[in-house]
Structures are given as structure tokens and as C-alpha cells.
């Protein structure tokens, strides 16, 4: 399954459940049928996501030697988080919320 994040000020972002759950866990939000990240919460969420990127550093590509075809589809945490960070930054700048499940 997938979860779609929406905001009035940016394009929607759809993530697979595992990735969406990871993002929500990183920012301290509970996964519910519906949810919101308010414009006021956005800066703290952005800081948490950027800290997670820094903590992960340059992730080595898993199974690069054993399974090169599978390694070619690897997406780093940084690559998964930047579009969401951009959404949060735009939402905060325009005093808009980010929603899911609506």
C-alpha cells in the first residue's frame, strides 16, 4: 500500500507504506488513517529529517557486488527525504499544512 501527503502549496508525494512510516517515525508523528503536520510544526520536522540524513551520512549501496541489478534500484534516505523536506519548507513559508489520508 501507499500513503499520499498533500499540501495546498506543492505537488502531492506518494510513498510506499514502509517509507511513509519511516518518515512519520523520524518526525515523531503517529501513523493514523488521517493526519496533519501543521505549518507551525514544519520547522521542527525539517530539522529532524535533516538530522536523520546527517546521521545516515553517505549510505553504502547494499548488495552492490552480490546483486548489481538490485543495487541499481536502491534509493538512499537522503533521496527519499528531500522532496518531503521541500514540501514542508513550502508549506511553512505559505502557512499551509501537510495532510495525509484526506
Cell of 59: 549510505
Residue 45: strand, helix, or coil: helix
- What would the pLDDT profile of 16-48 be if each residue is shown by its tens digit? 999 999 999 999 999 888 999 999 999 999 999
pLDDT given at position 63: 56
Q: Which three cell numbers stand for residue 52?
A: 536523520
C-alpha to C-alpha distance for 68 and 52, rounded to whole angstroms: 26
pTM of the model: 0.85
Amino acid at each position: 500500500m501507499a500513503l499520499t501527503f498533500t499540501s495546498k502549496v506543492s505537488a502531492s508525494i506518494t510513498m510506499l507504506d514502509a517509507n511513509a512510516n519511516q518518515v512519520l517515525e523520524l518526525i515523531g508523528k503517529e501513523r493514523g488513517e488521517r493526519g496533519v503536520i501543521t505549518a507551525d510544526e514544519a520547522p521542527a520536522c525539517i530539522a529532524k529529517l535533516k538530522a536523520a540524513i546527517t546521521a545516515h551520512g553517505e549510505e553504502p549501496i547494499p548488495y552492490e557486488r552480490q546483486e548489481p541489478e538490485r543495487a541499481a534500484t536502491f534509493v538512499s534516505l537522503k533521496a527519499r527525504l528531500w522532496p518531503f523536506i521541500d514540501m514542508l519548507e513550502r508549506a511553512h513559508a505559505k502557512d499551509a499544512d501537510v495532510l495525509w489520508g484526506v
